[in-house]
Amino acid sequence: MTEFVKAIETKSISLELANKVLDAALVKGKEMGIPFSIAIVDRTGNLKAFAAMDGAPVLSLDIAQNKAFSAAAYNRATHEWYDRLKDDPPLLHGIVHTPRLVIFGGGYPIKLDGELIGGIGVSGGHYTHDMQVCEAGLEVLQEITQG
Amino acid sequence: MTEFVKAIETKSISLELANKVLDAALVKGKEMGIPFSIAIVDRTGNLKAFAAMDGAPVLSLDIAQNKAFSAAAYNRATHEWYDRLKDDPPLLHGIVHTPRLVIFGGGYPIKLDGELIGGIGVSGGHYTHDMQVCEAGLEVLQEITQG
Amino acid sequence: MTEFVKAIETKSISLELANKVLDAALVKGKEMGIPFSIAIVDRTGNLKAFAAMDGAPVLSLDIAQNKAFSAAAYNRATHEWYDRLKDDPPLLHGIVHTPRLVIFGGGYPIKLDGELIGGIGVSGGHYTHDMQVCEAGLEVLQEITQG
Amino acid sequence: MTEFVKAIETKSISLELANKVLDAALVKGKEMGIPFSIAIVDRTGNLKAFAAMDGAPVLSLDIAQNKAFSAAAYNRATHEWYDRLKDDPPLLHGIVHTPRLVIFGGGYPIKLDGELIGGIGVSGGHYTHDMQVCEAGLEVLQEITQG
């Protein structure tokens, strides 16, 4: 007999952890000297913490949030999309039109002990720059897990 | 002969100051024991810094941002709207439908030496609670001006 | 036998006239010392000419355009709506939710020899101020017709 | 000890200058005999001044505004995007879906003494035509700086 599942338990990033990740990303951003927008979302893609560095381009505000949303909402780093799309024309010409879905680098799922708890998204430089800022933020997770 | 005005100079809140205001608001929010969303926008209403306390209602995420936007975009605290609307039926039934305009408490302009530089918006409690959190954040401005 | 109607001829405001109306409205706006946004739309409500005075509130940009749109799209000054709504609860609580419809003052049809050719919308002050700016702009039409 | 940065000072185009740029662009547009839409936005991408020449295609109204927005919001001429995208497939298939981002010619940042103060966007012809109209508008800036 199958059990009646009444509720699903999920974990989502706390504001305290979100701010640690955000702060680590900001340190990297300042070091790189590019004005980035940095967004942390919870497991469901809703905004948890955000900072726009002084001078961040207006367009970066939404792109950062959409990258974080994309990463959490699909549990996939945004730079992993293109390899899966490039030889699949219906997806390449279709799924890229999904509102808020970003398919270039700068968005990563945030995981705790292998479990999705949120997302980080960065915009303001080329996506290779944005990815470095995300990775600096995510180092906080590695320190926590190892600590 | 009048001078040819080429550009308008304006000041907008820095991320450093935005984060100080946000932190002070968060301290008050925790003290009150209600999970608030808190948004700081720049002078033009664009998001600068944001935090959603753990457990903040999903609806509060956008309302906080819209309150901050409303306050900056019209240079008026959101709780000041209703007194101006209540005896002016066309506005009371009309302007309330303006996208992103919030006409209840919880959004304040942020001013430096009397000049608009941004806005703060808080949502999560009754608007009277939201207003207390805003005011705690704005005390940072008074300390800076006096210091 | 009824005639087969192949096409409808309509007149729409020219850019030259739109700019004359806009300029006259701007003169009034400067005289009043309030930073207004002023929009002129064509007969179908599409934007024809626009100016935001220095310091115009961010919210006024869209409201001015929506007032001009409302006036042209319904061939009715926006301040005439409320009297028709106030004793008609389904409309009062219903039609006010129509996107882009503004039901308070500051939007007027632009007519040439009694025929709708466009609309003007102004935002930035109380709607009674906005209406004065519109009326100053519309005086250009009276001069043209009389001249 | 680093100084506490409270506010960022920025310059944004005045209505007076915006109208001079718009007028110069209109002169060029008439000379070319193509009905263009021409938009001037401020530093944050908000509409400052606009004109649609008689007969401008309906689609050009928004495209002109979006080009001006794109140029100001990213501080980059819109025709510079494609060279950066063409060998970067994730961006080529991804960033083009960003709302309001235009990646073909006809949008330019407006700079005063090297500082971003706004944007101009033109639509109505092929983008090579649109670019000529923008450039005619931007000559006003060169005259001012040299004068």
The reply to whether residue B117 touches residue D16, judged by beta carbons under 8 angstroms, is: no
- Would you state the structure tokens that stand for residue D18, as one six-digit string? 């915006």
The reply to whether residue A85 touches residue D93, judged by beta carbons under 8 angstroms, is: yes
Chains C and D form CB pairs within 8 A to the count of: 41
Distance CA C108, CA C142 (A): 14
- Ramachandran bin of D99, using left for φ above 0, alpha for ψ from -120 to 50, beta for the remaining angles: beta
pLDDT at D1: 46
Furthest C-alpha separation in chain D: 60
The reply to whether residue A47 touches residue B52, judged by beta carbons under 8 angstroms, is: yes
Q: Establish if B6 belongs to a structural domain.
A: no
pLDDT at C130: 98
pLDDT at C33: 98
DSSP-assigned beta bridge partners for residue D121: D39, D107
Question: What residue of A is the nearest CA neighbor of D5?
Answer: A54
Span B110-127, pLDDT tens digits: 999 999 999 999 999 999
- Would you state the structure tokens that stand for residue A127, as one six-digit string? 């996506």
- Is the CB of residue D34 less than 8 Å away from at least one CB of chain C? no
- Dihedral of CA atoms B84, B88, B89, B92 in degrees, nearest 10, equals -20
C-beta of residue A24 within 8 angstroms of C-beta of residue A47: no
> pLDDT higher for C1 or C44?
C44
- Would you state the structure tokens that stand for residue C93, as one six-digit string? 């609580």
Question: What residue of D is the nearest CA neighbor of B13?
Answer: D7
Total-model pTM? 0.95
- Would you state the structure tokens that stand for residue A4, as one six-digit string? 């009646």
Question: What residue of C is the nearest CA neighbor of D64?
Answer: C47
Span A96-133, pLDDT tens digits: 999 999 999 999 999 999 999 999 999 999 999 999 99
Q: What is the CATH number of the domain that holds B60?
A: 3.30.450.150
CA distance D81 to chain C (A): 28
Q: Establish if B109 belongs to a structural domain.
A: yes
Quick one: which of B50, B53, B47 has its CA closest to B118? B47
pLDDT at C2: 77
C-beta of residue C48 within 8 angstroms of C-beta of residue B1: no
The reply to whether residue D8 touches residue A103, judged by beta carbons under 8 angstroms, is: no
The reply to whether residue B73 touches residue C81, judged by beta carbons under 8 angstroms, is: no
pLDDT at C75: 97
- Is the CB of residue B46 less than 8 Å away from at least one CB of chain A? yes
The reply to whether residue B8 touches residue C55, judged by beta carbons under 8 angstroms, is: yes
Instruction: Locate all alpha helices (DSSP H) within chain C, ordered by sequence.
Output: 15-32, 58-74, 81-85, 89-94, 127-146
- Is the CB of residue D128 less than 8 Å away from at least one CB of chain C? no
C-beta of residue A138 within 8 angstroms of C-beta of residue A41: no
Q: Establish if B5 belongs to a structural domain.
A: no
Chains A and B form CB pairs within 8 A to the count of: 41
CA distance D92 to chain C (A): 31
pLDDT at A69 over 90: yes
User: What is the three-state SS of chain D?
Assistant: CCCCCCEEEEEEECHHHHHHHHHHHHHHHHHHCCCCEEEEEECCCCEEEEEECCCCCHHHHHHHHHHHHHHHHHCCCHHHHHHHHCCCHHHHHHHHHCCCCCCCCCEEEEEECCEEEEEEEEECCCHHHHHHHHHHHHHHHHHHHHC
Query: Using a CB-CB distance cutoff of 8 angstroms, which residues of chain D are in contact with residue A70?
Result: none
Question: What residue of B is the nearest CA neighbor of C55?
Answer: B8
Nearest residue, CB atoms, B46 vs list D9, D44, D144? D44
Amino acid letter for position B19: N
pLDDT at B46 over 90: yes
Burial classification of residue D31, based on how many CB atoms lie within 10 Å of its CB (0-12 exposed, 13-18 middle, 19 or more buried): exposed
pLDDT at A146: 75
Q: Establish if C111 belongs to a structural domain.
A: yes
**Res. B147 pLDDT band, cuts 50 70 90:** low
C-beta of residue A48 within 8 angstroms of C-beta of residue A20: no
Q: Establish if C1 belongs to a structural domain.
A: no
- Is the CB of residue A47 less than 8 Å away from at least one CB of chain B? yes
pLDDT at B1 over 50: no
pLDDT at C5 over 80: yes
C-beta of residue B63 within 8 angstroms of C-beta of residue B120: no
Q: Establish if A109 belongs to a structural domain.
A: yes
Mean local confidence (pLDDT), C79-103: 95
Taking residue B58's Cβ as centre, other Cβ atoms within 10 Å add up to 11
Chains sharing 3 or more CB pairs under 8 A with chain D: A, B, C
The reply to whether residue B8 touches residue D6, judged by beta carbons under 8 angstroms, is: no
**Res. A1 pLDDT band, cuts 50 70 90:** low
Mean local confidence (pLDDT), B75-100: 95
Which of the residues C59, C63, C127 would you substitute to probe the B interface, choosing the one with the greatest number of B C-beta atoms within 10 Å?
C59
Q: What is the span of the domain harbouring residue C77?
A: 15-145
**Res. C48 pLDDT band, cuts 50 70 90:** very high
**Res. A58 pLDDT band, cuts 50 70 90:** very high
**Res. A2 pLDDT band, cuts 50 70 90:** confident
- Is the CB of residue D89 less than 8 Å away from at least one CB of chain A? yes
pLDDT along chain D (147 residues), means of 10: 83 98 98 98 98 98 98 96 95 94 98 96 98 98 82
Question: In chain D, how many domains are there?
Answer: 1
The reply to whether residue D90 touches residue A81, judged by beta carbons under 8 angstroms, is: yes
- Only one residue has tokens 């608009």, namely B116
Span C116-145, pLDDT tens digits: 999 999 999 999 999 999 999 999 999 988
Chains B and C form CB pairs within 8 A to the count of: 44
The reply to whether residue C61 touches residue D46, judged by beta carbons under 8 angstroms, is: yes
The reply to whether residue A15 touches residue B51, judged by beta carbons under 8 angstroms, is: yes
Q: What is the ipTM of this complex?
A: 0.95
- Dihedral of CA atoms D12, D16, D21, D22 in degrees, nearest 10, equals 110
